Amino acid sequence: MKKPFLLGLTGSIGMGKSTTARLFAEAGIPVWDADAAVHRLYGKGGEAVRSIRALCPQAVVDGVVDREALKAWIASDATALKQIEVIVHPLVAKDRQRFIEETTSDILLFDIPLLFELGTESTMDATVVVTVSENIQRARVLERPGMDEGQLDHILSKQMPDSEKRNRADFIIETLTLDEARAAVHDVLEKVRKRIANA
């Protein structure tokens, strides 16, 4: 079996990454979702539960990691996030590797919010960044329940700037409209298939 082509998808908050991942799935590409992987690790029987309980017992309720309790711990302890990452990042990488080994397709898509921030792009064959103008991004995010300007600015301060992501990407998809994004997804897949054929 020939090794699949690994395509990493990322983009800042409100750029349309989840929608774009869905468009790749609609085009027949199996998708691995980093957030969903963390959800599995934190859920009942998840591989991260025992280690998180050892670090912060109050963060595990009924055998499930309570994300609100984790957030509270991170807010009160400057070392908490690092401790959590030491547990979670290797487990997420293991989950991703399992997906690669168990999924048969010539192309696999990896939906990873912190693709560049964590250096995971080095494990990909190519990267895709979704983008829109800053004013559209802000308008989309501020429509979300409970979101305000301060929260958005805080989230953006932790993410690599959109301009830097675009500079590092192999492919850029603008998500102004669903039809344009869908056309761009098919264009990316056509180019990737050419790369595979010429490899």
CA triplet 44, 46, 48: central angle to 5 degrees? 125
Q: What pLDDT shows up at residue 199?
A: 81
The answer to whether residue 1 scores a pLDDT higher than 60 is no
CB of 128 within 8 A of CB of 169?
Answer: yes
User: What span, in angstroms and rounded, lies between the C-alpha atoms of 55 and 50?
Assistant: 9
Give residue-wise pLDDT tens across range 6-37: 999 999 999 999 999 999 999 999 999 999 99
Number of Cβ atoms within 10 Å of the Cβ of 81: 13
Enumerate the CATH 3.40.50.300 domain ranges in the chain, comma separated.
Answer: 1-30+106-190
Q: What pLDDT shows up at residue 2?
A: 78
**Going by C-beta distance under 8 Å and a sequence separation of 6 or more, which residues neighbour residue 183?**
none
Give residue-wise pLDDT tens across range 72-91: 998 899 899 999 999 999 99
Give the residues across from 108 on adjacent strands: 6
Mean pLDDT rounded to a whole number for the chain: 94
CA end-to-end span of the chain: 15
The answer to whether residue 189 scores a pLDDT higher than 60 is yes
Give residue-wise pLDDT tens across range 147-176: 999 989 988 888 899 999 999 999 999 999
Q: Which CATH superfamily is domain 1-30+106-190 in?
A: P-loop containing nucleotide triphosphate hydrolases (3.40.50.300)
**pTM, 2 dp:** 0.91
Q: What pLDDT shows up at residue 155?
A: 87
Provide long-range contacts, Cβ within 8 A and 24+ apart, for 179-187: 181/16, 181/19, 181/20, 181/23, 181/130, 182/23, 182/26, 185/20, 185/23, 185/24, 185/27, 186/27
